Structure 1
Amino acid sequence: MSQFSKSILAGLLYLSQVGAVMAQDSMTYRITENYVPDDLELYNTIVKLDQEFFGYYNECQTQLEKYADFYAEDLEFYHDQGGLSKSKEEIVQSTQKNICGKVTRHLVPDSIEVYPIPGFGAVEMGLHYFINTDNPPDEPRKMGRFIVFWKDGPEGWKISKVVSLH
């Protein structure tokens, strides 16, 4: 098993343990109770990238190309409902078909944690929820956990792996 796979499994285990202790009646959560970024500059960079990426995601009817540019060509997307996808093109097409104009992503405030991965980039973990325009507006929000591996390379920061849990 590669070191990257071990990192993904460790992150999933970590998030599943944390999820068991979170109360579901408040929308203010922290993954780790007393989280403090190891590198504040890196943290701020990744939080800004998350905002930009999901801004394009939420406006993908007109911003699909900018949304797609965030993904690395060798993207791996692990989804607890949809399985594993290794095709950037398929993920973007699926977003266009199933998300654009129908679903918006909302970050749970103060839930992002960022950890450096030397020689690679960073891993971001956090909590978010999605609002589907087809659902009643008073429908309870169901939070999901996410892990994003950000690769810092010659083309800038790119999303190389995503783990999305609902």
Structure 2
Amino acid sequence: MKKWGILLCALAGSAHAADDALTATVAKLDTEMFSAFNSCDKPGQLDKYASYFDHDIEFYHDNGGVTWKRDVMIAQTAKNVCGKYRRELVPGSLKVVPVKDFGAIATGSHTFCQFGSNKCEGIAEFTLIWRLRDGVWQVTRALSYGHRANP
């Protein structure tokens, strides 16, 4: 019986370490992706941002509707975001859950800050479905919802 307890503790520790590693990976991807988003008015950054998304991305935005293709989503980002505002992850809000044989689900909250005034007046929730294929992580589904004034 004692051996089973030791084995279960070892397995739980191993799973926890794997979850920590996955969370660190997704947190790094989030930082890199939104660094490109936040500077998408600079040469090459919009293309870098686009590379984090599958060609057939499904992007659901409660105020903007649904976008079914990466090219359309990136064109909307260029028109509505670049040089106007930046996204900031709310500290401590990122949660990452593994998806067996696929990747991960990331959820959290983010604020949007205007470049001119530096005011962060908007906040929303997000869900990103990350797929790992051939060593490359990409978002296949994205949801941005619950947009409201930032208190």
TM-score range, shorter chain: 0.7 to 0.9
Deviation, 1:137, is: 4.8
Structure 1: how far apart are the matches of 2:94 and 2:22? 12
1:101 equivalent in structure 2: 83
**Cα deviations by residue, 1:28-78 (Å, 9 ceiling, x for unpaired):** xxxxxxxx9970000000000000000000010121110111111110000
Equivalences for residues 2-151 of structure 1 within 5 A: 39-62=19-42, 63-133=45-115, 137=118, 141-151=121-131
Give the gaps of 5 or more residues in structure 2.
1-15
Percent identity reads: 36
Runs of 4+ aligned residues of structure 1 deviating over 6 Å after TM superposition are none
TM-score normalized with structure 1 length: 0.72
Give the gaps of 5 or more residues in structure 1.
1-35
Structure 2: how far apart are the matches of 1:131 and 1:163? 19
> CA-atom RMSD, angstroms?
1.8
Structure 1: how far apart are the matches of 2:121 and 2:80? 19
Structure 1: how far apart are the matches of 2:141 and 2:118? 32
State the SS of the aligned residue for 1:143: strand
Deviation, 1:133, is: 3.5
Deviation, 1:143, is: 1.9
> For this pair of structures, how many residues does the alignment match?
129
